[in-house]
Chain A
Amino acid sequence: MRFMVLVKANKDSEAGVLPDEKILTAMGKFNEELVKAGVMLAGEGLHASSKGARVRFSGGKKTVIDGPFAETKELVAGFWLWQVKSKEEAIEWLKRAPFEDTEIEIRQVFEMEDFGANLTPELREQEERTRAQAAARK
């Protein structure tokens, strides 16, 4: 199964301050461990929310709101995608990560079979087409 590991923003990441060398080295080492163990599928760090935007949907109206956004602790600053055998394995890996004073969230990624009967063939097809288009744009 796959888990997405969501790293939250903080004052520094929102100010665009890059982590110091000590943290970068520790994180590099942790990433290397994940790769060596065959756990890491993908992982990215995100720019400050000042470089992002939101699109608000309300009724038929779409409003674009430019960043930065206020609620720093709720913002995502980076993510990993891990392949593991159980939620506990993901937790054990996360406990080895070199973080201090933060809260990291892990969420299981839906895979096709998880939708089961709830996804009618039509819905399934539609979703797949969207995915194909997303992939085609890559």
Chain B
Amino acid sequence: MTAADIHRTIDAVWRIESARLIAGLTRIVRDVGVAEDLAQDALVAALEKWPEAGVPDNPGAWLMATAKNRAIDTLRKNALHERKHEEIGRDVETVEPDPVTALDDDIGDDLLRLVFIACHPVLSTEARVALTLRLLGGLTTDEIARAFLVPEPTIAQRIVRAKRTLTEARAPFEVPRGKEFVARLSSVLQVIYLIFNEGYAATAGDDWMRPQLCDEALRLGRILAELVPSEPEVHGLVALMEIQASRIGARVNASGEPILLLDQDRGRWDHVLISRGLAALARGEKLGGTPGSYALQAAIAACHARAHAAEETDWRRIASLYEMLADLTPSPVIELNRAVAVGMAFGPAAGLALVDELRAEPSLASYHLLPSVRGDLLFKLQRFAEAREEFERAATLTRNARERALLLERSAACGRAS
């Protein structure tokens, strides 16, 4: 093995082990920042020793043992400071009588605690995202920076500050309970979905790390689904991401222009991800209860995924799912989507009735999709002059040049039809 091979192996071991390592260490030292430093020290030790001594048979255990020893040193050093001594003494006695054996138990619980502390409410959303990718994804600051198109020092600083904030706030390393659990879990899901969307929004010219974010978010979601398997919304989010990710290869054409869902070549959809998404959706549904926002969005995505051709789409079901979603999280944009689905399921007149109710909505006043959808429904009703007006309005509102061209084309088609 060359030195470069060994470095790549160490990277791989780090990816597999780092989250568990940091989680176990945080339980001992009660400070996620210190724990991460200890884990990094173990990594540095590996980088020094492995190229000469070779990669150990059980590299994870080696890192664990090295970090453990350093953790115990740290505890002893801290114990010299009186106040810390009391604090750690109390924690160690009441929570973990033996920090060394504690490291081997309940790794799953520790990982979940790490998830919650990385997404702690004292942190800004940006900090939660960076810390989650760093502590749970095992990504370097450089990788995170490239993925978010920001300079590396910005991310490095964000992470240092986040760790300091957690220490200062004495954020407990625990899984919240009861009502707080629900709220905190939803913030964890939000962070994961945000990471996913950042990757999903990446364009062809971007650094390869950006689309990689979709894989990272999926991995985090899949891990979380095994940590809290009884939470239906986690499965809902996983299902939503799996199904959306299944379309990544189909959503732009050869020249990089976006292709609308209904025009996509469904043969290019990733069927491994679709079947995983449908399975995750079913797993969540089996748990019962009222479906949450992610589960509903996933159910809508699943309607498209199940249709082998655009014409086979179950629009009635989509319309009723949008209705449930609008009840749960009222929003004019969801209403507009519902109107589209209703128009497809029950005819353009039914859709138009819903769209007309939205015309007075101030938040949609400059939203190009409102006149665009209205124009489409009017066109289908053969009210060409009105449709033309709407397409033109939409064209002036959109910021996307290609979309503007498309809208003007449709407007011209209205002129020819009337």
- B13 in the interface, Cβ–Cβ < 8 Å? yes
Q: Check if B272 is an interface residue, CB within 8 A of chain A.
A: yes
Q: Which residue of B lies closest to A85 (CB)?
A: B15
- Determine whether the beta carbon of B276 is less than 8 Å from that of A41: yes
Shortest Cβ gap from B356 to chain A (Å):
38
Measured in the bound complex, the distance between the Cα atoms of B283 and A35 in whole Å is 15
Q: Decide if A83 touches B219 in the complex (CB within 8 Å).
A: yes
Q: Does B131 contact A (CB under 8 A)?
A: no
Verify B268–A83 contact, CB threshold 8 A: no
- Restricting to B111-165, which residues have a CB under 8 Å from any CB of A? none
Query: Measured between alpha carbons, how far is A42 from B267 in the docked complex, in Å?
Result: 20
Interface flags, A100-135, vs B, CB<8A=1, else 0? 000000000001110000000100010111111111
Given contact pairs A88-B9, A92-B12, A132 touches B266 in the complex (Cβ within 8 A): yes
Known contacts A92-B16, A138-B271: A36-B226 contact under CB 8 Å: yes
Residues of A within 8 A of B266 (CB): 132, 135
Q: What separation, in Å, do the CA atoms of A42 and B12 have in the docked complex? A: 21
A9 within 8 A of partner (CB): no
Whole-angstrom distance between the Cβ of B132 and the nearest chain A Cβ = 14
Given contacts A36-B223, A83-B215, A89 and B268 within 8 Å (CB-CB): no
User: In this assembly, does A50 line the interface, its C-beta being within 8 Å of a C-beta of chain B?
Assistant: no
Q: Is the CB of B272 within 8 A of A42?
A: yes
- Cα–Cα distance between A38 and B136 once the two chains are bound (Å): 12
Beta-carbon contact of B267 and A41 below 8 Å: no
Q: Is the C-beta of B8 less than 8 angstroms from some C-beta in chain A?
A: yes
Which of A83, A91, A112, A125 is the one whose CB lies under 8 Å from B249? A112
Closest to B17 in A: A92
Inter-subunit contact B267/A129 (CB<8 Å): yes
The answer, among A36, A93, A128, A134, for a CB contact under 8 Å with B265, is A128
Query: Which B residue sits closest to A1, measured CB to CB?
Result: B215
Q: Does A48 contact B (CB under 8 A)?
A: no
Question: Which residues of the other chain, A, contact B267 by a CB distance below 8 angstroms?
Answer: 127-133, 135
Q: Which residue of A lies closest to B226 (CB)?
A: A36
Given A88-B8, A112-B268 in contact, is the A38-B15 Cβ separation under 8 Å?
no
| Complex Cα gap A25–B268 (Å) | 38
| Residue of B9, B227, B272 touching A81 (CB-CB under 8 A) | B272
B220 at the A interface (CB under 8 A)? yes
Instruction: Label chain A's interface by main secondary structure.
Output: helix
A136 within 8 A of B: yes
Which chain A residue has the least Cβ–Cβ distance from B273?
A41
B254 at the interface (CB under 8 A from A): yes
A35–B226 CB distance below 8 A: yes
Q: Which residues of B contact A136 (CB under 8 A)?
A: 308
Q: Does B404 contact A (CB under 8 A)?
A: no
Q: Which residues of B contact A127 (CB under 8 A)?
A: 267
> Contact between B308 and A91 (Cβ–Cβ < 8 Å)?
no
Closest approach, in angstroms, between the C-beta of B63 and any C-beta of chain A? Answer: 12
B85 sits at the interface (CB 8 A): no
The CA of A136 and the CA of B275, in the complex, are separated in Å by 12
| Interface pair A37/B271, CB less than 8 Å apart | no
Q: Is B11 an interface residue (CB 8 A)?
A: yes
- On whether the beta carbons of A38 and B219 are closer than 8 Å, the reply is yes
- Could you tell me the distance in whole angstroms from the C-beta of B338 to the nearest C-beta in chain A? 29
Instruction: Give the contacts of B179-198 with A (CB-CB under 8 A).
Output: none
Given contacts A38-B222, A41-B276, contact A131 B59 (CB under 8 A): no
Name 14 interchain pairs, CB-CB below 8 A, sorted by A: A35-B222, A35-B226, A36-B108, A38-B219, A38-B222, A41-B272, A86-B15, A89-B12, A89-B16, A112-B249, A130-B267, A131-B267, A133-B267, A134-B271
B→A interface (CB under 8 Å): 8-9, 11-13, 15-16, 59, 108, 212, 215, 218-223, 226-227, 249, 254, 265-269, 271-272, 274-276, 308
Which residues of A are interface residues toward B (Cβ below 8 A)? 35-39, 41-42, 81, 83, 85-86, 88-89, 91-93, 111-113, 121, 125, 127-136, 138
Q: A36-B226, A85-B212, A131-B267 are in contact. List 14 more A-B contacts (CB 8 A).
A: A38-B220, A83-B219, A86-B12, A88-B12, A89-B12, A92-B12, A92-B13, A128-B268, A131-B268, A132-B266, A132-B267, A132-B308, A135-B267, A138-B275
